[in-house]
């Protein structure tokens, strides 16, 4: 009668309602039965014993940059292995719907730290589409592992319509016909089922390549008039705007937040990057919930995106995007490592004076706290510095300024100097408050990008660990049921997707996990080579005993760290179209 039965587990339906011990039967990719009594297993193709385990809806990752990787390895197994069954592409104004390989390389290479040549090759080789509808058909032809939903990128639209060079010049304004063509591209994407548009105003995201190198993203050059015209389409269609305000210009944050309000017009779903407990500006964390409360209290539909784990980053030498936020750091990243030009710059005393001045300037909006005493060296050919901070190395070397200690090591060893620091979300009690705030959406993993800088693929499991432990200790900040809802059904409902629930009639995207293995292994990271990127070693998470089974559309795809045999040859995931929510809620027996 059934394709799969999951028996004996604690079932969470994704609505935040009470969990219960239930058996679940799946047929034709949907939940067919949820029962308090044992289900007849006769003729069932797969029976999963979930005794002592949690059976929850597959999690949703609302902020990824898998736009390139999905073309090369559509299994996207690094997310699947942690129970993420639905992924949103097209974040930060970047997508591969309209631009060609060279422009895609310039857009993604430096901003998202994905090797440019692989971006160019992937898009040039794979691209068979010239429209949003064609892009969706191309994705649906791939053996997708997880489900995919997508934003259309504002920078993608703008660069395709104006050309990348014109789209990144402050003196160029699109003509009326060009604006109408951009509106048409957005409308067509929404017709194809895209969940909305992503736009970016952050000025330290820089382009790669040679033609427009170090210019900011095309969407940062858009006028207020252009943004309003595109937003009007999103309002009318009840689709979402994902926005990235410029941290150095608070007015951009205010303008993006206010765009959610619906006075004399339809309100706009707005999800902004990002709510975080930033080390550099400790007091700012109080602003995020306040803005959310005000915007939604005035009738908006406003959310912050938030990574619910400490934001720990690694860097090989100076290759870390946070250096883009001040002049001397951006000047170094403007230069490639070819011919030693960057190394020569870093050794120059005038440059170092500039860097020290930027480093010592502690006031003003910023992401990085600029403290080399809070930057631990994890790898280096010089073993004497391992485990030390750059600040301590400076002390050991006769009182060198921390900047000089850092630059000396990078000049000598280049990207063989690997180090780490935590930029934000370092205070557990503040992290818990943000995770429970109703104006916050949980996500922002950046999966598929910053391959050598960070690994947050298992962010959902790490949140569940904190919630479970707090509940056991008698100090809960939310229930496990609420946490599951926040990672699944709440997001699906807001983005209007057929996902995130586990009731009769719902799509059978399922995560089975062992709550006793929500342990310290979740905090560790490992490295794994990516064959499609010439073996580049990607930071990953490996906590394979925690996740015992993952199903997408009723198909078993992962469990205990092992891919299902058919993953990569058969399609389990689908392209999920916004506005077609087809769940039929049922009552458990």
DSSP-assigned states of every residue in 269-286: EEEEE----BTTSGGGGG
| 540 in any annotated domain | no
**What pLDDT sits at residue 140?**
97
**What pLDDT sits at residue 149?**
98
| 320 in any annotated domain | yes
Over residues 56-65, the mean pLDDT reads 98
Q: Which residues make beta-bridge pairs with 152?
A: 197
Which stretches of 314-472 are DSSP H helices?
327-334, 341-347, 349-360, 390-396, 402-413, 428-436, 459-472
Beta-strand pair 54-57/4-11: parallel
Supply the DSSP symbol for 48: E
Q: 588 pLDDT exceeds 70? A: no
Residue 539, helix vs strand vs coil: strand
Closest CA to 77 of 583, 581, 566: 566
The alpha carbon dihedral of 490, 494, 498, 504 has a sign of positive
Supply the DSSP symbol for 151: E
Chain-centroid distance of CA 21 in Å reads 33
| 6 in any annotated domain | no
Q: 584 pLDDT exceeds 60? A: no
Contact 195, 88 (CB under 8 A): yes
Q: 586 pLDDT exceeds 60? A: no
Give the residue numbers spanning the domain of 373: 313-423
pLDDT band at 580 (very low <50, low <70, confident <90, very high): low
| 491 in any annotated domain | no
Chain-centroid distance of CA 2 in Å reads 35
| 117 in any annotated domain | no
Measure the CA–CA gap between 466 and 80, rounded to whole angstroms: 21
Contact 3, 554 (CB under 8 A): yes
pLDDT band at 336 (very low <50, low <70, confident <90, very high): confident
Closest CA to 507 of 32, 76, 88: 32
Residue-wise pLDDT tens digits, 431-465: 999 999 999 999 889 999 999 999 999 999 999 99
pLDDT band at 338 (very low <50, low <70, confident <90, very high): low
pLDDT band at 363 (very low <50, low <70, confident <90, very high): confident
pLDDT band at 585 (very low <50, low <70, confident <90, very high): very low
pTM above 0.75, yes or no: yes
* Cα–Cα distances in angstroms (integers) from residue 52 to residues 193, 209, 358, 512, in the given order: 39, 53, 54, 10
% the chain with pLDDT above 70: 98
Contact 174, 219 (CB under 8 A): no
Higher pLDDT pick, 401 / 336: 401
Residue-wise pLDDT tens digits, 149-207: 999 999 999 999 999 999 999 999 999 999 999 999 999 999 999 999 999 999 989 99
% the chain with pLDDT above 90: 93
**What pLDDT sits at residue 366?**
87
Over residues 313-336, the mean pLDDT reads 94
Structural domains counted in the chain: 1
Residue-wise pLDDT tens digits, 480-539: 999 999 999 999 999 999 999 999 999 999 999 999 999 999 998 899 999 999 999 999
Q: 123 pLDDT exceeds 70? A: yes
Range from 137-141, 366-370, 469-473 carrying the lowest mean pLDDT: 366-370
Encode 393-403: b = buried (16+ Cβ within 10 Å), e = exposed. Answer: bbeeeeebbbb
The alpha carbon dihedral of 260, 261, 262, 265 has a sign of negative
Residue-wise pLDDT tens digits, 368-424: 999 999 999 999 999 999 999 999 999 999 999 999 999 999 999 999 999 999 999
Q: 6 pLDDT exceeds 90? A: yes
Measure the CA–CA gap between 300 and 317, rounded to whole angstroms: 43
Closest CA to 361 of 248, 206, 216: 248
* Cα–Cα distances in angstroms (integers) from residue 91 to residues 63, 426, 449, in the given order: 6, 25, 11
């Amino acid at each position: 009668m059934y394709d799969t039965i999951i028996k004996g587990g604690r079932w969470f339906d994704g609505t935040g309602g009470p969990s219960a011990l239930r058996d679940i039967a799946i047929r034709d990719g949907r939940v067919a039965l949820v029962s308090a009594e044992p289900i007849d297993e006769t003729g069932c193709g797969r029976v999963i014993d979930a005794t002592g385990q949690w059976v929850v809806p597959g999690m949703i990752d609302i902020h990824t940059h898998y736009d390139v990787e999905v073309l090369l390895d559509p299994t996207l197994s690094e997310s699947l292995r942690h129970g993420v069954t639905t992924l949103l592409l097209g974040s930060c104004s970047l997508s591969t719907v309209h631009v060609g390989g060279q422009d895609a390389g310039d857009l993604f290479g430096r901003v998202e730290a994905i090797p440019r040549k692989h971006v160019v090759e992937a898009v040039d080789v794979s691209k068979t589409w010239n429209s949003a509808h064609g892009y969706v058909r191309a994705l649906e032809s791939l053996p997708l592992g997880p489900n995919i939903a997508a934003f259309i990128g504002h920078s993608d639209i703008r660069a395709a319509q104006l050309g990348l060079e014109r789209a990144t010049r402050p003196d160029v304004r699109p003509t009326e016909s060009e604006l109408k063509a951009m509106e048409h591209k957005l409308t067509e994407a929404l017709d194809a089922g895209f969940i909305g548009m992503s736009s970016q105003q952050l000025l330290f995201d820089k382009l790669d390549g040679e033609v427009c190198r170090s210019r900011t993203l095309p969407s940062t050059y858009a006028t207020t008039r252009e943004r309003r015209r595109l937003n009007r389409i999103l309002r009318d269609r009840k689709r979402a705007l994902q926005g990235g305000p410029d941290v150095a210009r608070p007015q951009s944050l205010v303008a993006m937040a206010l765009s959610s309000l619906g006075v004399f017009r339809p309100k706009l779903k707005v999800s902004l990057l990002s709510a975080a407990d930033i080390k550099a500006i400790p007091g700012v964390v109080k602003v995020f919930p306040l803005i959310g409360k005000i915007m939604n209290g005035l009738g908006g539909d406003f959310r912050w995106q938030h990574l619910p784990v400490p934001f720990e980053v690694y860097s090989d030498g100076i290759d870390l995007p946070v250096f883009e936020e001040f002049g001397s750091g951006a000047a170094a990243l403007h230069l490639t490592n070819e011919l030693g030009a960057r190394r020569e710059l870093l050794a120059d005393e005038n440059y170092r004076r500039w860097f020290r001045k930027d480093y010592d300037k502690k006031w003003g909006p910023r992401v990085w706290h600029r403290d080399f005493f809070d930057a631990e060296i994890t790898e280096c050919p010089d073993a004497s510095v391992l485990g030390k901070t750059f600040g301590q190395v400076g002390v050991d070397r006769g009182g060198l300024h921390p900047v000089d200690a850092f630059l000396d090591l990078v000049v000598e060893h280049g990207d063989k100097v690997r180090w780490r620091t935590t930029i934000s979300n370092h205070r557990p009690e503040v992290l818990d408050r943000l995770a429970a705030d109703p104006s916050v959406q949980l996500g922002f993993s950046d999966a598929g990008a910053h391959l050598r800088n960070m690994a947050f693929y298992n962010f959902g499991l790490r949140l569940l660990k904190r919630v479970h432990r707090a509940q056991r200790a008698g100090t809960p900040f939310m229930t496990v049921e609420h946490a599951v809802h926040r990672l699944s059904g709440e997001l699906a409902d807001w983005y209007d997707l057929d996902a995130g629930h586990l009731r009769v009639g719902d799509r059978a995207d399922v995560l089975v996990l062992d709550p006793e293995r929500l342990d310290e292994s979740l905090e560790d990271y490992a490295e794994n080579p990516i064959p499609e990127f010439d073996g580049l070693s990607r930071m990953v998470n490996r906590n394979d005993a925690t996740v015992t089974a993952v199903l997408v559309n009723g198909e078993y795809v992962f469990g205990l760290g092992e891919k299902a045999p058919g993953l990569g040859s058969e399609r389990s995931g689908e392209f999920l179209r916004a506005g077609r929510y087809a769940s039929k809620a049922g009552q458990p027996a």
